[in-house]
Structure 1
């Protein structure tokens, strides 16, 4: 993504929003364009400010972050929502996956991680933090029935694209996938784009969900295994 990345903040604690704004505004390519104190107010704020990325807290009075994410994405599906979470909120993260968010960020993450996360999601990537996401997705996939037959989503993938999807499902970055498969990183980016298009998903997080739900990746499976 080129140009300034527009970011909106949704958190019921004003001091948290101040801190997030200070970190983000210090970067020349990031601009905080709006704030809201709950998920309900976020919808109108997003409509008024047209952000690229929304940082959404989970626990808020009124409309919480999960319902807020659903409403924002229903009204503005092009917006990327990143949920702010803590280690003890697995059930919230599972719900956020179902809502279609583009990633998760720990509230205790260092400032540089926040900045990198916003840039990554804005550029079309998914924020897959191994300390949270893989564990939660495996729990989510174990409990959730496969709603779409494997063949419906995977038949159109080449064998190499299936390998890439499997490694995306383990939370590997493009660089890590390139090393695992002995490919150039540019080639991996092309494969990832093809996988997203063929699966009809918009980012890596949703590709991971599809990989687990289809059975292409199974909980506890080692990277690169079928």
Structure 2
């Protein structure tokens, strides 16, 4: 018997799918979860074998909920079941431990097959797709490490200068605000450009905003 939980805030879709799958031999359906918090409670109470997880949930997203579900019950197979997922969403879901992805437009027979295969321990992603997503995951990890390195490389004084640059302050204004000479201010600005790999002050400010170093 495969115990299945459907997590979807589109109640009409969820109820239709629930009714369909409840008629499948060997399937036992839990109550529907319209959001991630309800899903986590049902996972604790019923220990489902498979979870069909929508991405666009209110509050916590589906991809964020995956890790929480697996922390409660590692043996549960989570399948993303969504109408639209970006590649980054899929990468995050793969990093969190999903078994695969089934679009909401899939045929009922394909959904049933996916649930049975996931319950049996299969990974539902094609080998080339999994390889591509894992490559993207490694790329994102490198980007995060590079961002962390750039943030750590800036001194407290350089961060002060950067925040003033983000307020469109010129060299004289930065000098006055920090009580330093114009020559020293220019030196800080040059260091910032080099550390953030920026070719202009505007590019440095944009980069700093991406890194969360300045207020938007």
TM-score (norm 2): 0.60
Q: Is the contact between residue 80 and residue 102 of structure 2 (CA under 8 Å) also seen in structure 1?
A: yes
Q: Which of 17-26 and 130-139 deviates more? A: 130-139
- Structure 2: how far apart are the matches of 1:131 and 1:108? 22
TM-score (norm 1): 0.57
Are 2:97 and 1:64 aligned?
A: no
Q: Is the contact between residue 21 and residue 32 of structure 1 (CA under 8 Å) also seen in structure 2?
A: yes
CA drift at 1:111: 0.5
Distance of aligned partners of 1:25 and 1:69 in 2 relative to their CA distance in 1, 3 Å threshold: same
Are 2:50 and 1:47 aligned?
A: no
Q: Is the contact between residue 11 and residue 60 of structure 1 (CA under 8 Å) also seen in structure 2?
A: yes
Are 2:39 and 1:28 aligned?
A: no
Q: How many residues are treated as equivalent by the alignment?
A: 142
Cα deviations across residues 182-218 of structure 1 (Å, max 9, x unaligned)?
Answer: xxxxxxxxxxxxxxxxxxxxxxxxxxxxxxxxxxxxx
- Structure 2: how far apart are the matches of 1:63 and 1:87? 16
User: Structure 1 residue aligned with 2:35, among 35, 38, 45?
Assistant: 38
User: Structure 2 residue aligned with 1:75, among 55, 65, 72?
Assistant: 72
Cα deviations across residues 25-65 of structure 1 (Å, max 9, x unaligned)?
Answer: 12111121222111121111111112100111001111111
User: Structure 1 residue aligned with 2:113, among 110, 113, 116?
Assistant: 116
Distance of aligned partners of 1:131 and 1:59 in 2 relative to their CA distance in 1, 3 Å threshold: farther
Match of 1:9 in 2: 6
- Structure 1: how far apart are the matches of 2:49 and 2:76? 5
Match of 1:128 in 2: 125
- Structure 2: how far apart are the matches of 1:45 and 1:128? 26
Cα deviations across residues 103-153 of structure 1 (Å, max 9, x unaligned)?
Answer: 1111111100000000000001011157965654443344444xxxxxxxx
Give the number of the structure whose alpha-carbon radius of gyration is greater: 2
Q: Is the contact between residue 85 and residue 93 of structure 1 (CA under 8 Å) also seen in structure 2?
A: no
Cα deviations across residues 161-186 of structure 1 (Å, max 9, x unaligned)?
Answer: xxxxxxxxxxxxxxxxxxxxxxxxxx
SS of 1:34's partner is: coil
After superposition, the CA RMSD in angstroms is 2.0
- Structure 1: how far apart are the matches of 2:114 and 2:35? 21
